[in-house]
């Protein structure tokens, strides 16, 4: 795991990394030897954000590293900038000689920047490691890095190796790690146990649909339930996608991947909650058993749902899963899903919207290095989901507000939970950023974990 590239401050000698900006460059240079200053000048190192220069000693061995933080004043630069370092440094052990504004975030971004998905390709392991001082909660940083790595690995795995059964196995593996209990409802048993929408979406595939239900924690602790969309591949069904839109559909289980990453943090930190994780896992395929536009299904909650488009399958499986979760009236119910292109059009790939009517939750679910943006559950748009033949249509009758109307549809299936929040995430980094390699991504779960840590600290032993 990339988190193992972080070491405590007693790990031994390490090459210092100096933080340099245009305002501090001359002061740093004044501390160097004459030959080292000439080296810096020859390389025209000016402290540009994210640039690094290895400065040798008289024998040519690395003596220190200059790392650019740009024009930011002392402290508030983007902590994720340190995620560039693993790709810039030669083999060795390093430490930050100048304290960053947020040491924990600097260490985390280093670990996340070292992430590589190497299941199918031989790669050279990252050789640079970072020694962190005692101000860093190393155990927490490692836990978060592992959780993000888990989410990224699941999203990056292609659908031929990650179908509904394999996703269930990933959940069971996580459960075994933390001593959680897991139950699954598979195939036609979904009909018998009243999950008709999950069954309808997954029926066309020869990979059986399922609903996986995991429990952890003491029975009388506050109930926190996470629901994740687990569409392991989405062809669009009979309303089939064009090939360009299908290219990234292995990531359509990104909601499930993210709630599993969050669950790993919650259980690893031993937060005092009764955690429940529900993942409806399906493949939306095309066959004679496929559900059709215009079909009507009775949902678990009892609402009849008209199918407006088979390529809006995620909200259908979430509807049954949310109805199940809501039946025990949890204190907090969170769902995460790669749900709408409309969210990406509105906010782009890096800023996921979330929806909640609870003002305290909305205020708490925010962290500068894990961006989120609250959008409204605008009730006047609910009429766009009207159906002439059923209680509700699952998609809007118009072209506008697609993310909001999807959230309004899901809201119909939540009544008893004290707080409900819906996250419409992308779960993907289209082009590499510091600490965020191109590919599968965790979004929102670090902010949620921070909030849950504050609300539900571990019970005293």
Distance in angstroms (rounded) separating the CA atoms of residues 182 and 166:
14
DSSP 384: G
Angle formed by the axes of helices 138-156 and 445-455, nearest 10°: 140
Q: Which residues pair with 16 in a beta bridge?
A: 95
| Tokens encoding 393 | 């249509």
Determine contact, residues 6/130, Cβ cutoff 8 Å: yes
Per-residue b or e along 30-57, where b marks 16 or more CB atoms closer than 10 Å to that residue's CB: eebeeebeebbeeeebebebbbbbbbee
| Tokens encoding 141 | 């940083």
Distance in angstroms (rounded) separating the CA atoms of residues 426 and 133:
34
| Tokens encoding 9 | 């401050």
Q: Which residues pair with 215 in a beta bridge?
A: 181, 276
Distance in angstroms (rounded) separating the CA atoms of residues 241 and 235:
6
Dihedral pair phi/psi, residue 6, rounded to 5°: -105, 135
Would you call 268 helix, strand, or coil by DSSP? helix
Burial grade of 26 (CB within 10 A; 0-12, 13-18, 19 or more): exposed
C-alpha distances (whole Å) from 443 to each of 68, 73, 259, 261, 451 are 27, 28, 10, 10, 14
Q: Which residues pair with 93 in a beta bridge?
A: 129
* Phi/psi-derived region of residue 150, left when phi > 0, alpha when psi is between -120 and 50, beta in every other case: alpha
Give the pairing type, strands 181-186 and 210-216: antiparallel
Q: What amino acid positions are annotated as catalytic residues?
A: 241, 315
The rounded radius of gyration (Å) of the Cα atoms in the chain is 24
Sheet holding 52-56, edge to edge: 6-7, 128-131, 92-96, 15-20, 62-68, 52-56
């Amino acid at each position: 795991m990339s988190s193992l590239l972080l070491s405590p401050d007693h790990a031994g000698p390490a090459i210092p990394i100096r933080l340099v900006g245009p305002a501090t460059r001359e002061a740093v240079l004044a501390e160097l030897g004459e030959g080292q200053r000439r080296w810096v000048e020859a390389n025209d190192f000016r402290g540009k954000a994210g640039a690094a220069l290895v400065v040798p000693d008289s024998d040519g061995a690395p003596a220190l590293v200059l790392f650019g933080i740009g024009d930011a004043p002392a402290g508030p630069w983007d902590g994720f900038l340190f995620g560039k370092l693993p790709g810039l440094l030669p083999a060795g052990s390093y430490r930050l000689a100048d304290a960053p504004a947020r040491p924990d975030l600097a260490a985390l971004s280093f670990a996340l920047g070292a992430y590589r998905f190497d299941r199918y390709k031989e790669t050279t392991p990252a050789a640079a490691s970072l020694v962190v001082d005692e101000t860093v909660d190393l155990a927490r940083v490692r836990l978060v890095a592992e959780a993000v790595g888990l989410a990224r690995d699941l999203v990056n795995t292609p659908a031929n190796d990650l179908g509904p059964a394999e996703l269930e196995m990933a959940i069971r593996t996580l459960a075994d790690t933390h001593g959680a209990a897991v139950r699954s409802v598979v195939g036609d048993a979904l009909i018998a146990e009243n999950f008709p929408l999950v069954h309808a979406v997954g029926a066309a595939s020869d990979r059986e649909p399922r609903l996986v239900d995991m429990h952890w924690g003491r029975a009388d602790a506050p109930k926190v339930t996470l629901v994740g969309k687990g569409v392991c591949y989405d062809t669009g069904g009979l309303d089939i996608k064009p090939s360009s839109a299908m290219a990234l559909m292995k990531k359509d289980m990104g909601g499930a991947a993210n709630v599993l990453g969050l669950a790993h943090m919650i259980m690893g930190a031993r937060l005092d909650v009764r955690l429940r994780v529900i993942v409806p896992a399906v493949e939306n395929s095309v066959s004679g058993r496929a559900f059709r536009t215009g079909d009507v299904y009775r949902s678990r909650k009892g609402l009849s749902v008209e199918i407006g488009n088979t390529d809006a399958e995620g909200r259908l499986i979430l509807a049954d899963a949310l109805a199940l979760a809501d039946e025990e009236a949890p204190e907090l119910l969170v769902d995460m899903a790669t749900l709408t292109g409309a969210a990406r059009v509105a906010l782009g790939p890096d800023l996921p919207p979330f929806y909640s009517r609870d003002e305290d939750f909305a205020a708490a679910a925010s962290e500068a290095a894990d961006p989120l943006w609250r959008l409204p559950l605008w009730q006047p748009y609910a009429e766009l989901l009207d159906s002439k033949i059923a209680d509700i249509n699952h998609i809007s009758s118009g072209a506008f507000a697609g993310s909001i109307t999807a959230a309004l549809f899901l809201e119909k299936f939540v009544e008893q939970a004290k707080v409900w929040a819906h996250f419409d995430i992308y779960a993907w980094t289209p082009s590499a950023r510091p600490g965020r390699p191109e590919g599968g991504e965790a979004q929102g779960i670090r902010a949620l974990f921070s909030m849950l840590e504050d609300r539900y600290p571990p019970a005293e032993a």
